[in-house]
Amino acid sequence: MTHTRFAFIKARWHADIVDRALDGFLELIPRDQVDVFDVPGAFEMPLLARDLAGTGTYAAVACAAFVVDGGIYRHDFVAQAVVDGLMRAGLDSGVPVLSVSLTPHHYQETDHHNAIYRDHFVQKGREAAQAALQITQARRALNAA
């Protein structure tokens, strides 16, 4: 079966920044081919990614979150757990699960930093869309061979 649908999961922490990744993603993949899902934070993304990948509906699942360093160990713990969980969801399901999860060490909630990261998330969303299209094309070619 040829999948033409993509799932996009976005965490609601720093939604004003994270949502820009979807904007970039939709610059390359038509909106009518993308189902969008919100989760409370980055930590909840792997479970939903696994569930969506398991439906057989999506060619790829992209996940966006912004995990900031609050000065405690939780930043590193969450970032590592999220990336590991997303990789596991992809490997277990056989569906590509892409991460647009950024973890800056020097983020401050200022207008300057917010503008930088909003722009950066648009670019990362574009890159996720490119990756989704490329891996989908590669897998189709492999299946056809």
Gap between the Cα atoms of 145 and 139, Å rounded: 10
| Catalytic (active site) residue 74 | yes
Q: 73 burial class (0-12, 13-18, 19+ CB within 10 angstroms)?
A: exposed
Gap between the Cα atoms of 140 and 67, Å rounded: 33
Tokens for 122?
Answer: 């648009």
**Active-site entry in 12, 50, 74, 139:** 74
Q: Which sequence positions are flagged as catalytic?
A: 74
